[in-house]
Structure 1
Amino acid sequence: MPHLPDVVLWSIPAFVLLTVLEMISVRLHPDEDAAGYGAKDAVTSMGMGLGSLVVDPLWKIPVVAIYAAVYELTPLRVPLLWWTVPLMLLAQDFCYYWQHRGHHVVRILWASHVVHHSSRKFNLSTALRQPWTGFTSWPFYLPMILLGVHPAAVAFCSSVNLVYQFWIHTERIDRLPRPFEYVLNTPSHHRVHHASQGGYLDRNFGGILILWDRLFGSWAGETERPVYGLTKNIETYNPLRVATHEYAAIARDLRAAHGWRERAGRVFRGPGWQPAPRVTTAVPAAAPAPEATA
């Protein structure tokens, strides 16, 4: 397997430059209705991104070990050729769609991904707001390993997907020409994904392609202006609390849960799941004894 570049690492200077240029653009030509920038919010997003660069290698060690073991067990091999790389990127984007969708509908997975949605701003710095518990994503890419794609190639494709998604975190680009909007994930599609309105929730999960959403019924077009953030926003800029707040909420719900069925629901059902109200049968109070009469 030839050496593949670390696309994310090489892209960091471009991330910084483009973010600074967007900040200047917002300052010189503000849009009163746009989310814009907030100093504390942007610093938190950048801090989350830097933190993920430190934490990611730790949880990637066991993941690489699992991938390597599975790769050795499968007899299939996909060579790294000019025509196989686009097919690998397509397969990775398909797996990413289901990984992303799963992280919105299973609460324990959402606890990791919620970090990326926790900002009430939407700009290029928001793209850097990455979780510190990304170890929840690896099972979704096992099919590629089983089909004979080298783990290094899977990592390369994932990096390309992540880098692509940087530029779609902006309000400075409106809509692209219709053919691009139909096929690709664009700023318009991704603004919908980050919105907290009911009609926009859990829509547009695609990474590079929006075709998966159109195919599997999760696409929504941008009509009204999005309101960014969570349905229940967090009031903190502390990176550690941003990274762990949903795990803490799950722990609180587990302590208060009545029975193992509810505990399982609190972990594996959707983020907004609530158990059915408990029905209690009230026992009527005994009638008072009649007073004695003289």
Structure 2
Amino acid sequence: MRIGRATLILNSLIAINVYRDTTRHTAIPQSVICFAVHALTGFLSALPAELRDPVLFAIPFFLLLLTLEWTAARKLAKFDAAAGTGDPADSRPASGAYLARDSMTSISMGLVSIATTAAWKTLALFGYAALYAYVAPWHLSASKWYTWVVALLGVDLLYYAYHRAAHRVRLIWATHQAHHSSQYYNLATALRQKWNNSGEILMWVPLPLLGLPPWMVFFSWSLNLIYQFWVHTERIGKLPRWFEYVFNTPSHHRVHHGMDKVYLDRNYGGIFILWDRIFGSFQEELFRPHYGLTKQVDTFNIWKLQTYEYVAIARDWRSASRLRDRLGYVFGPPGWAPGGADRNGKVAPVASTR
């Protein structure tokens, strides 16, 4: 299905007109917004139909919600200052706060990830198509409702597995840590995406082998990411118990982004939190988390944020004299050290940013 010029123009008008009125409140330059819209429409028209990602259509709405939350944060900060509320002993950013440089860093990383993700998906398409056409023992019909159930649940379960591995294997963590590098927790943080999707690409290989069409795998992956956007906020408290029990929520995902010891390596689910309950990685939100990395990377340079841990791994590899120690630095948990264990209270994080 081809995307009409009218659709592209409509997306552009929505983004430009909405943000024109709110730019002065959010400190987001109009030039950045216009550049983002033009870049997105260009990618849409250039990509094959199978790779025209629903996430791209959702981005104008992401930015709209982000702008509203940012504006609300500024208004509430002024109200709190006037009322004299807040704990002066707490050095953390206020709940739901925004820092312009931090948010622009997140948005910039997200924009680059659009291009890198498209490149990874293009590579994956060839492999998935070959597996689907020549190896899969059967082909599931996209017109059947149960195929969509298999696709959505399969993507989310494998995302859980990948996400858990990303927190327990340092080489994969080196890619994922960029998403956790902000000390702020807001909708902009949701856009702070990694540029290396190779782990996810490999993790979803079982899906075309099960007979799922490759385009359906990509589409379900995109729906998963769209769902995860809204859980990156401190403006939403706990939701009804039945919803909190089944689905990933802002409360559950705040725990995941916490660097507090009780919160480390918890709540990996994308859409469903049931995986965490089943596999023993669930943690209830007990108090407001401290966000970021256990060893903060104090920079807004997007290249350094993406590559910092790779550089640290290379440095530790060179410093180790034994092969098993080198392998431990690469494939052990973040914070692993020779003669020690992982970072969960048994040994202090030495080389890792986690």
Match of 1:79 among 124, 134, 141: 141
Matched, 1:15 2:57: no
Counterpart of 1:52, as a letter, is S
Aligned to 1:60: 121
Aligned to 1:226: 289
Match of 1:169 among 219, 232, 255: 232
- Give how far 1:63 is off: 2.1
2:155–2:217 Cα contact (<8 Å) kept: yes
2:96–2:235 Cα contact (<8 Å) kept: no
- Give how far 1:272 is off: 1.3
Match of 1:38 among 92, 99, 115: 99
1:35–1:120 Cα contact (<8 Å) kept: no
Q: What per-residue deviation string (whole Å, max 9, x for no partner) do you get for residues 132-154 of structure 1?
A: 11112212111111111111110
Counterpart of 2:160, as a letter, is Y
2: CA distance, partners of 1:53 / 1:21 = 23
2: CA distance, partners of 1:6 / 1:48 = 18
1:60–1:135 Cα contact (<8 Å) kept: no
Matched, 1:266 2:329: yes
Higher RCO, 1 vs 2 (CA within 8 Å, ≥6 residues apart): 1
SS of 1:137's equivalent in the other structure is helix
2:120–2:201 Cα contact (<8 Å) kept: no
1:107–1:269 Cα contact (<8 Å) kept: yes
The normalised TM-score by structure 2 is 0.75
- Give how far 1:87 is off: 2.6
Aligned to 1:289: none
Higher normalized helix content (fraction of residues) = 2
Counterpart of 1:113, as a letter, is H
Deviates more, 1:141-150 or 1:16-25: 141-150
Q: Considering only aligned residues, what root-mean-square deviation do their CA atoms show, in Å?
A: 1.7
Aligned-residue sequence identity (percent) comes to 50
1: CA distance, partners of 2:105 / 2:319 = 31
1: CA distance, partners of 2:223 / 2:232 = 16
Matched, 1:95 2:142: no
The normalised TM-score by structure 1 is 0.90
SS of 2:259's equivalent in the other structure is coil
Matches within 5 A, 1:109-188: 109-188=172-251
- Give how far 1:34 is off: 1.2
Which runs of 5 or more residues in structure 2 are unaligned?
2-48, 81-85, 87-93, 341-354
Counterpart of 2:53, as a letter, is D
> 4+ residue runs of structure 1 moved beyond 6 angstroms?
none
Counterpart of 2:100, as a letter, is A
1: CA distance, partners of 2:227 / 2:96 = 22
